[in-house]
Amino acid sequence: MLELASKTQAAQLVELPELEPRKSAGAPVFDGPLGLVQNVKVRLAASLGSTTLSVAELSALKDGAVLKLDRALGDPVDIVLEGQVIARGRLVAVDDSFGVSITEIASPARA
């Protein structure tokens, strides 16, 4: 059910580390021949967490409400492609935008 931060449980602002430019190391997400599909565009999503609430709770939300997600503050962010988790990482700041620094490529068995 919907959990809102109470007056004694205030929302916390989290300072994100600035991403330092570096060369990528490690295994690529996809290590096969790309052939004709190398220029196909795909949309990735970063999932911070979720919550379940009723329509009544949804309609009662007001500006400033805080939704408590099902993830802890230090949990990794999921990188999702077509509903499948393909990688995990940590939230970072990139100039004036959010970014995700990939820390783990999900294997087919773990995705």
Strand-pairing partners, residue 86, are none
| pLDDT tens sequence across 66-102 | 999 999 988 999 999 999 999 999 999 888 898 999 9
| pLDDT tens sequence across 32-73 | 677 778 888 999 999 999 999 999 999 999 999 999 999 998
3-class state of residue 66 by DSSP = coil
Cα separation of 85 and 103, whole Å? 13
User: What domains does the chain contain, in order, with CATH numbers?
Assistant: 40-105 (2.30.330.10)
| pLDDT value for 1 | 47
Q: In what order do the strands lie in the sheet with 77-81?
A: 44-47, 77-81, 84-94, 97-105
Structure tokens at 107: 């294997």
| pLDDT value for 38 | 82
**What global pTM score does this model have?**
0.62
